[in-house]
Structure formats: structure tokens, C-alpha cells
Amino acid sequence: MLSAAQRDAYLDACRAAAVGHITELIGTRDRGHPAYRAVLDYPLREAKGLRPAIAIAVCRALGGRLAEIVPTASAFELLHNAFLVHDDVEDGSELRRHAPTLAVQLGVPLAVHTGDTMLSLALEPLLDNMRLLDLGRALRLLGLITRVMRKTAEGQALELTWIAEQRWDITADQYVEMVTHKTAWYTFAGPIAAGAIVAEAPPALIDELSRFAIDLGVAFQVRDDILNLRAEPSATGKESWGDLWEGKRTLILALFFARAAPEDVAFARALLARRRPGAGADPAAAQLDRALDRLGDRLAPDVRSAVHAAFCDIGRAA
């Protein structure tokens, strides 16, 4: 088992390979052109590089070559950063990776355009696969990325619609459906399948790995939701209570609205309907924090049960 230092070194190396490929890709363009000026902003900020690391790890573990997976790994890293740019606009986020979001820096129009540019650039490494790999694998990877993009858009649309309709009666099953599309596909299922395809793994194994990846993605998102609710900005790189003010439908809030006393539900609805606060702490947020704490003993078993079920599914898939 890797130590924390070994894990971090591996993540850094994989991300460096992917970002290096992206930098080379941008280097073939006119960096002074407005379309490309901010494309490298998010990719060059400090981050884990989870998606390229997963794709590379699976490929190498199954006997594939590093040089053959790096272009596809870079495509996932570009997609991820493009989605982040768009998410920050849609959510009204102020911080991303310990710095102001592109929407804050450049304004919404240029931020959206930068995200669009990144999405278009993400297709180019996949076209490079036509010469780097055989046509069959290249087309399978192109089809996989297309599916990943569609699934991610579907998951984001679910959550944005719930927010627009001010729906808080989201069940745990609906939450799982949303995060399966929004997170699990492009964070785990896509990179894992990509690594296996490049390594020429048999289709049956790729299917098994994909099922495992979906369960892993759901568990990952539940943990991320908890971190955002409780962790300090220095740990997450985002503002405190960001998910709450953005109206994120999390498993924790789904359980809160299902189990809380009527007065706590009414208070939470009123608070979450308010305009997002600006810089600085909002005292009202602490009131919701206390309401969540009052439910802590009742909610904790449900949250633990949901996470345990997800990891049990992972164990069965493995």
C-alpha cells in the first residue's frame, strides 16, 4: 500500500504528464488570442489530478503503455477543468483552488467562453489517438468521452432543475441518480474505462470495472459533500458553506429535510432561499449549522449507512 507521500508523488507525476500535454497543445495556438489567454488558468492551479491519475494507473496496471494513455488522460483533465469553469458560473462560486474563480476574475461571458474553448480542445487529443493507437481503440475512446460528457450534462441538468424549481424533497435514490451521472461517470467510470481500453482489456473486464467505478464515484461524492459542509476553506480551496449557498442537493440535506423537526425545516428553507452572502461569514449560516448539529445523532446513522452501502457495492463489484 502506498504511503501518503508516495500517493501524492504519483498524483503529481500523472497530473504533470497530463498538464504538460495540454500545455503543448495550447502552445500550437496563438497564446495572445483572447480565446486561449485563460485556458491554462485552472489546469495550472494546484490540484490532485485524480482523473488522469486513474486513467494512467488502470492502463499501466493492465499492461498498457504510458505514452498511449497520456493524450486521453489530458482530455479528461481538460474536460474536468472546463466543467469546473461552467459549474462556477452556474453556482455563483467565488473561489476555486484557493483563488478567485474565472467568473470573478474575467466576468461571466469570458469565463463561459473559456470553458467552451476548453471543451473543444479536449477533443483534439482524442483525434491524436487515430495515429497513436489503432482505429478501433481510438473510436471507442471517442465514443466513451462523448458518453461521459452527455452523462455529466444530464446530472448537472437534474440538479440545476431542482434548484430552479426550489425542490428540497429529493430522496436518497434521486441523489444517487444525480451524482452517478454528474460525478461518477467523468471522475471514475470514464477514466477507468479509458485506461482499460488503451490497455486492450477484454470488454467483460471493462464492464466489471465500470460498475465498480460507479459505486466508487457515489461514495466519493458523499464524502466530498461532508467535507464541503464542515471543512475549512484552507482544506477545500472553496468558500465555507459553498454547497449550501449554491443550493447543492446533497445526501445530508436530503436526510435533513426528511427527518428534521418542522421548525428546523421551515428555518432551513427560509435561510437557503436567501441571496448568497458576499465575502465574510454570515451569522445565519451558524444557525443552520446548529440545526444540523441537533439532528447529528439521528442523521449520522443514515449517512454512515449510505456510505457503508456504497462501499459494500464497491466490494461486491471488485
96-150 pLDDT, tens digit each = 988 999 999 999 999 999 999 999 999 999 999 999 999 999 999 999 999 999 9
Segment 3-10 shows an average pLDDT of 89
How confident is the model at residue 315, as a pLDDT? 47
Residue pLDDT, tens place only, 294-313: 655 555 566 556 556 555 55
pLDDT of residue 57 exceeding 80, the answer is yes
Residue pLDDT, tens place only, 65-84: 999 999 999 999 999 999 99
Tell me the C-alpha distance between 4 and 85, whole Å: 29
Most confident of 166-180, 193-207, 247-261: 193-207
The pTM assigned to this predicted structure is 0.85
Query: Nearest Cα to 84, choosing from 38, 124, 127?
Result: 38
* Banded pLDDT at 314 (limits 50, 70, 90): very low
If one compares 201 and 171, the residue with the highest pLDDT of the two is 201
- Which grid cell sits at 14? 500523472
Segment 30-35 shows an average pLDDT of 82
* Banded pLDDT at 281 (limits 50, 70, 90): low
Mapping DSSP to helix (H, G, I), strand (E, B) and coil, where does residue 4 land?
A: helix
Q: CB–CB of 15/52 below 8 Å?
A: yes
CATH number at residue 199: 1.10.600.10
* Banded pLDDT at 162 (limits 50, 70, 90): very high
If one compares 179 and 237, the residue with the highest pLDDT of the two is 179
Distant-in-sequence, close-in-space partners of 64: CB < 8 Å, separation ≥ 6: 195, 198, 199, 200
- Which grid cell sits at 274? 436567501
How confident is the model at residue 317, as a pLDDT? 46
Percentage of the chain exceeding pLDDT 90: 57
Q: What angle do CA 257, 314, 192 make, to 5 degrees?
A: 110
How confident is the model at residue 64, as a pLDDT? 97
pLDDT of residue 29 exceeding 90, the answer is no
pLDDT of residue 237 exceeding 90, the answer is no
How confident is the model at residue 294, as a pLDDT? 62
Tell me the C-alpha distance between 311 and 317, whole Å: 10
How confident is the model at residue 202, as a pLDDT? 97
**Mean pLDDT for the chain overall:** 85
Domain extent at residue 207: 4-317
- Which grid cell sits at 3? 504511503
Mapping DSSP to helix (H, G, I), strand (E, B) and coil, where does residue 241 land?
A: coil
Query: Nearest Cα to 299, choosing from 263, 250, 238?
Result: 250
Segment 90-101 shows an average pLDDT of 90
Q: CB–CB of 4/12 below 8 Å?
A: no
Number of structural domains (the chain) is 1
- Which grid cell sits at 223? 464524502
pLDDT of residue 28 exceeding 90, the answer is no
* Banded pLDDT at 270 (limits 50, 70, 90): confident
